[in-house]
Structure 1
Amino acid sequence: MGQKHRSHQQHGWFHIMNRGVDRQDIFVSDLDRRVFIDEMVTAAEEFGIEIHVYCLMATHFHIIVNCPSGHLSEFVREFARAYAEGFNRRTKREGPVFTGRFVSVPLGLDDDDPDRSFMVAARYVHRNPLDFLPADTLGAYAYSSYPAYLGTAPAPAWLTTDVLQSLCGSDPVRLRRFTLTPQPSDKTPAYGRVIAAAAPTEVIDAVAASAGVTIDALHRRRSERNDARLVAAHLCRSLRTASTAELSQLFAVATQQGFRQLAARGKKLVAVDPSCARLAARALDRLCGVDRAG
């Protein structure tokens, strides 16, 4: 990667993701996954998109791409439309398959080390199956680019592998160690951002401002679903802003275990819900002092 990525919204490097509507499965068979990959590759060739990293999960997908000529939105819209039409025919259903607009996280736009930003995002994507697979079998997960990088499966011609390989010295052992060794970034969706130590009140302020809600709405539990509160709890815990006991009091949760469960729910939402992922990204940008348009 070498140099900083261009800041135009449709150009450069992006981690893109989306999930099934109402958190439903978007893949119910291996055929679905193969069709998705075929549609993704066809659209990438049409719009000049480089696919560097990907992982398909039951309810969502992750792809890291480089868009040297732009066309990010056209690329995603095209393969998502084509896949959804075929999926509905195969499963005899109607209506949308994916939730709203996809999430796209720019990689390295404001970082002094864009290579590190790319590697952190690639590691996050490749680790997704660890939610249900033991670490020693991750290299056998068929619907991810990770086996191609490890050399446990042939790399398809459409997968651009030279960037990540060069950053790892073309050493599969080094890549495996980087991917599987626990790191602090496992607990925060910061995508390589450098965030100075923040007080929990600063995190809550950032989430409230990003969500357009009052700070009090994040402190107190409500009977209806409160995604902003869950995201704030997750970020406060993952950024280690205070002790669990202090955070439990701040969020008006009776026990420390109760707060840990609250934060875990927020972490899951950020991973699978595009709107919550965008909220977390906006809040993190505020903490970094980044004013990102849109």
Structure 2
Amino acid sequence: MPRRLRIHERGAFYHVTSRGNNKEQVFFSDEDYSTYTFLMKKYSLKYCTEIHAYALMPNHIHLLARVDSMPLQKFMQGLQQSYAQIFNKRYDRVGHVFQGRYNAHLISNEQYLLQVFKYIHLNPVRAGLADDPKTYRWSSLNDYTAADKNSFIETGFMKKLLIEYGISLNKADFSLIPDLAPEELQELPQKAGPANREIAAIAEKNRPTLIELAGAIEDLTGISLKAIKTSAKDRATVLARYLFIYGACRLCGFRVVDTAQFLDKNIVSVSIALNKMDEQIKEDSALKKMAQELTGNFKNR
């Protein structure tokens, strides 16, 4: 059977995985991990391939890569073949190091992109290699949380996207990104799709509009959208405003930037309000109940 044609789409993101032959280890020492990261940097520069995230596990690797004019295949061939030659020479062995061809899934929307980003960085925790993803040495998470001028990881795009969804990497609060099961990540078919957009709204047919959400908030609190949009500081209006922001971003999936524009507020103030609600709703059972009632209200409108 002929090999399936690799899809190349300029500007697209790919979730790349590759496993050791017969599921054997491909990294035995810090030197091995360092060699692979050095080669990632070398070939990403050579083939104009951006690396936005990675996790190197003892017997497999995960990459979040974005291609330009050169196909992903060029980058991966250079990386995998060079590492295999060094590995075999270092351990006086012959034969394949990696099992078959690498897997690459085209990422066609922002939600999937965030889920892959989360999945990659939590992989060491799931495997029992670390209790905290920030403590695992051989992933890109620390490139996001520490300022390293020598890093080859492209962090700008994902930082911007995370901010738009109100997610703080300083807290490594991945709980705000929905989970995607490992089998879904591994078995999604490689298919053509739109190139990743710099700015894209989540399109869900059954999602209420922000106007409908405001109506549900008014039913619940008696506070109108007009009042929510003001700068009023009284307790009832602030609560209604925070519920609206929480409902828009967490229950309906709107971005922080979209919610801020709708309310005529700046992104920072909306993001702060959202983070406060995230914390308060965990501890305040009455507030949690209001959020549940809100969900029921706009589903029934």
**TM-score interval, normalised by the smaller of the two chains:** 0.5 to 0.7
Structure 1 residue aligned with 2:128: 132
Quick check: 1:154 aligned with 2:148?
yes
1:74–1:149 distance in 2 versus 1, CA, 3 Å: same
Cα 1:62–1:42 shift into 2, 3 Å: same
SS in structure 2 opposite 1:169?
A: helix
Would you say 1:164 and 2:158 are equivalent positions? Answer: yes
1:116 is the counterpart of 2:111:
yes
Shift of 1:154: 3.0
CA drift at 1:10: 4.9
Summarize the Cα distance change of 1:183–1:168 in structure 2 as closer, same or farther, 3 Å threshold. Answer: closer
Q: Cα 1:134–1:88, aligned 2, differ >3 Å: closer, same or farther?
A: closer
Counterpart in the other structure of 1:23? 23
Deviation at 1:177, TM superposition (A): 5.4
Give 1:268's aligned residue: none
Go from structure 1 to structure 2 and tell me whether the alpha carbon gap of 1:171 and 1:116 turns closer, same or farther (over 3 Å shift): closer
TM superposition shift of 1:187: 2.9
Paired position in structure 2 for 1:50: 50
What is residue 179 of structure 2 aligned with on the other side?
185
Where does residue 9 of structure 1 map in the other structure? 8
Contact 1:123 1:179 in 2 (8 A): no
Q: Secondary structure at the match of 1:96?
A: coil
Secondary structure of 2:138's partner?
coil
Unaligned runs of 5+ in 2: 1-5, 194-301
Summarize the Cα distance change of 1:70–1:10 in structure 2 as closer, same or farther, 3 Å threshold.
farther
Structure 2 Cα separation of the partners of residues 158 and 90 of structure 1: 25
CA deviations over 1:140-193 (Å, ceiling 9, x no partner)? 211100112123x736431100011111229997236565428652435445xx
> Counterpart of 1:89 in 2: which secondary structure?
helix
User: What amino acid is aligned across from residue 29 of structure 1 in structure 2?
Assistant: S
The answer to whether the 8 Å contact 2:143/2:151 transfers is: no
- Structure 1 residue 36, shift from structure 2 partner: 0.6
Give the TM-score taking structure 1 as reference length: 0.57
Task: Give the length in aligned residue pairs.
Answer: 186
Question: How big is each residue's C-alpha offset from its partner over 1:92-142, in whole Å with a ceiling of 9 and x where there is no partner?
Answer: 11001001010001011xxxxx2222111110100100121454x320211
Partner SS for 2:163: coil
Counterpart in 2 of 1:64? Answer: 64
Give, in whole Å, the separation in 1 of the partners of 2:182 and 2:97.
28
Q: Distance in 1 between matches of 2:183 and 2:27?
A: 25
Residue 153 of structure 2 aligns with an amino acid whose one-letter code is: L
Q: Distance in 2 between matches of 1:159 and 1:140?
A: 18
TM-score under structure 2 normalisation?
0.56
Q: Which has the larger radius of gyration?
A: 2
Superposition map of 1:192-211 within 5 A: none
- Work out the percentage of aligned pairs sharing the same amino acid: 24
Q: 1:10 to 1:169 in 2, by over 3 A?
A: closer
Over aligned residue pairs, what C-alpha RMSD do you find? 2.8
Residue type of the alignment partner of 1:158? F
Q: Conserved in 2, the CA contact under 8 Å of 1:51 and 1:65?
A: yes
Q: Distance in 1 between matches of 2:36 and 2:87?
A: 9
- Residue pair 2:115, 2:178 contacting (<8 A) in 1 also: no
